[in-house]
Structure 1
Amino acid sequence: MRHSIIVEGNTYRTALEKGLKKLGVDPGKARVDVLEEGKMMMGIVLKPYRLMLTVAQDGIEQDTEETRQHLSDWFSLDYREDGVYLTVYLFESEHADNSKVSEIQQFIKRKKVEGINNEAILYAISNTGHPVKIAEAQPELPVDEEIIITVSRDRMKATAVLLPPYGGKALTCEDVMQKLRDMGVIHGIDEEAIVRLLNNKQYGKEEAIAAGTAPQRGKDAVITYHIDTNKNAKPTINSDGTVNYHSLNNIENVKQGQILAVLTPPTDGIPGMTVTGNQMPSVPGRPLALPKGKNTQISDDGLKLLAATDGKAELISGKIHVYSIHEVRSNVDNSTGNIDFIGSVIIHGNILSGFEVKAGGSIEVRGVVEGASLIAERDIILRKGFQGMKKGVIKAGGSVTARFIENGTVFAKEDIVAETLMHSHVVSGGHIRLVGKNALIVGGKVHATLGISALTIGSPMATRTLLEVGISPEVRDEYDSLKEQLAQLEKEMAKVEQILALLSRMESTGQLPIEKKIIQQRAVTTKIEYSVRIPEIRARLNELEETLLESANGKIHGKKTVYPGVIITIGPSSLHVKDTVKYATFMRDEGEIRFVSYEG
């Protein structure tokens, strides 16, 4: 006959001793089966050991290897008549590292053992399996259930670890709430998490019980454009290779009072709060100003930009301008005289030799330009072409588009697009592109900041044709000038801010005389002006820096033929073409001009 009992204990040894006592037998007289392994963390019992002890009828049962192994598991604290004893049990594969020493010390501290001999604790750890007296005899005090609350460094989270009782009282929800109040935790408390923690008794497991409210950043201001801001003169190529200059659709017409743009102001955002009740300020959204330019006005509520006149709306350097369009239904000749207009100009006829047309916007000529001068702040479109007669000049702040350019001078800050370019001096701040069936460059000097492309460059007669790619001296001068202006303005802005700070301190003490008040008002006006001008200069410098980087990689593309007599210059390097080159792209490589298969 066999007799079995099932017992539980915080440790293997505690459960074993309890079972042996109930059976009334000595160690080694009962067989021990482990039904459930116990778990412990930092001296905290997460799960008790559950053992089944069995004795035979004669009361003798052989101790197994498994029993001996579990007898050496972790540690126990025994209160005896002559003192408090610590027994440390470690498996052979384990060693007493600092974490285990700390767990034992924390457990003893929770048990409120007085007069501890720390050297004895270390001795017990180094002499496993032997009870070591660590304190004089004393009653085993009950230990209440305990909670350890930790507030994160940023005060945005509070976590808790529940510690088990040893004969003491269990915690209530109100106990935990009071401890939170004592620690200053008053916001974002999760009472459901606290109740769940206390009910589940998951000792030693960290749980979040309070969370702060993060501040919400305000929304940035938004400008919604009610016009097409990308109206550019771009000719289309027909299926037969011809260029269509009629359907350019490059004018954005607006009526007086029409809404050009709408401003949605920034929001302030929503402040946050830490678990300790401290407010966390929000960051407001970034403001924007309506892009007010020429012939526009801002509505009374300050949220809409309106056209002040009928005309053509364009977005230039971040501002919307409205240009009234001036149309000439005939030729520009003696009947019209020279034209100087703030807006855009459309010429339905020709511009005869010797006349001049200036426009604050764009110029469109539907006839031929013959030895005349055209100057526009934006694009110039010549639906037929430009016969310069060696005296005509075209200058555009934007791009130039023409069917042909012959014996003239053309300057454009942006691209130049044409079908033929013959014996002319042409300078582009962007690309020069020859399009259509001919796509020919022959004779003259052609300079582009970013690149040149054509079907044919030069002629079988070895006509001297100069092609240059790289940054123009004018752009470099503008860049250097703007750098100097920016440095000077920033220096002056710093002085203005110092003056305003000094006057503000005087004003706060009531010691600002009238003459100083006038200086203060002037300084405020100057600061506002500088606050507008400095960002504008920085934006332009960024554009120029991008151009400088792009121009360093400029290329010249000859899709069909590049003839002898052509001189190619890219940056500081030059190449005289002495033999006909087919289907090639020229580039600067290691200080020399080389050509490869066409890449255009």
Structure 2
Amino acid sequence: MDKATRKAKDKKDGLEWKMGNLYQKAVDALNRGKTVSEEEFVEKPPAQTQPSQVPPDPQVEQPPIQPVIQSASADPKPPKDEAKSMDGAAFSKHDAQNIPAPEELEEDLSQLKSLQDMDSQQKKPEASVPKLSEEEVFQRNRSTITFNLFFSADKMNAYIRAQNYQKGSDADNRIPTEVIYDLLKGKGVTFGIDHSGIEEYCKGRTFYKDFQAAIGSRPENGQNGTVEYLFSLDMTYAPKERDDGTVDYKELDLIRNVAVGDALCRVHQPTDGVDGMDVFGTLVKAQAGQSVEVNAGKGVELSEDGITYVASISGMVELNKGVLEVKDVYTINGDVGPATGNIRFGGAVVVKGSVLSDYAIYAGGDILINGYVESSILNSSGNIVIKNGISGTKKGLLKADGDVTVRFAEMARIVAGGSFRFDYCINCDVRVREDIIGKGKRASLLGGNYIAGRKIDVNVIGSDLNIPMDAQIIPNWQEVTNLKVKPEERLRENKELAHQFEQDYNALKRKFERIETDVARLARKNSMDTKEEAESKQKKVLVLMRQKAAIREQMSYIDEKREKLKRLSANEESMIVVRKIVHVGVRLTIGNAMMWVNDPTDHQTFINDQGLIEGHGITPGSV
């Protein structure tokens, strides 16, 4: 029940109570034999002590009270159904009907009747409205609802807006789908039509919002060409993390090394894109991607496939201001230390400063140090040149496939595939494939162990302190695994090996000769042999031939070992040249011969003469 209906009902209930109260007053007055005065018709609130004047419960529907009070009659004759009042006065319904009602009462009665009519009207069942058929609904909505078609600026979207449609929950705005299709066709819309959406839209439930009736296919522009770099462009200079979680601050990975033929980058060609179409069926061309070029510098060339750039030299790859290049020399303007970490480079390395303790350089080319080298590691596939020197404190290592050249070396390990050149060398462990050559005012070997494959040529070996040291010529020493540095141990072992090889070889040779004899015997044919005996001889011959081949292979292996031992003792070009003096305490070894220097000797060339070291005097400056 809404607010207005409840208010009307409350007013009607109040008027009914009022009429019932007035009616009771009129009846009481007539029973007393007097005419009701206007004052008595005026509504007075009933006393709370009189139960008869309590208004009826508004929740209980009261029967309508009919207006029966009229003006009093002057007729002296009472009707037959007259009645007497309690005091004996005559009173009848006729008298009650003739009681005059005041204007206020008439107004209240009029309002009460209007409310009662309204109440009865609400209680009457509504007349049923006849339901329209679908065709009638279509016909009605065709004539009332209008539709507007509009488009996006790029003609990729078509929208429909409905107007003059019915509103409300019971509105029926259904329209046939041909209304929408005719509208689209009339405007030339042919592509991207939303057929399922049109079916739903024509049910009329979403006319309050714009409907996207068609959507075009936007063109997909082509992708621009790109360059895929096959090396890291992110130089973070972050230290390397070890497997155990600790960090190595000496490995900063500052250099990106490449070898000849390594792929550096790959070019991806642009694409043409995919054409689109607007809602009118007009083709919309896609924009093709733009090509990209690689600015190749030194050490970079294009491969045969036409899209891959490779390194033409080994070194360090860089992308500097858009130029891709490979440098075969890596230059460090300061020291190698915490700022640079360890250096690993595929080409040559030039250090304008020094190499600090516990740092390393690994180079695919030469290493040039303008300053000093402390207890560090230098490993080069080429040559190593240190303009000052190295103080290794028994930890420094210089290892080169070529030559090693220093001004001085102290307590360092030096290994060279070529020669070692120096001014003076103190307490070092040096092994070179070719020569140990002292150049300079000192040209001295002072303490340590020095092994050359061909020649040692210095001014001084040893010192006045007579500290024991070794100067050795061991041809092809690099071929020996676990080379024994001490000459007496090495010579004794070589002698034992030579003897053992000789015995083993002779034993195999005798066995080989016996097998040859047995084979020759079994190979001879005998007419007295049966078929089975002949086949048995053939099988024995095959077994012996296999044994013979195995023995021959063993003999070849022993021959290789014997030859290697002979090369260690080759003396054709082996010599030790002392241009000034060799001091007491020096042990000289050439091939399989060894000699301790017991007296200071100057200006000598030492050679191996049939297992003995002999010294030959030289004229200063003659060699």
Per the normalisation by structure 1, the TM-score is: 0.36
Greater helix share, structure number = 2
Greater strand share, structure number = 1
Instruction: Give the number of the structure whose alpha-carbon radius of gyration is greater.
Output: 2
Per the normalisation by structure 2, the TM-score is: 0.34
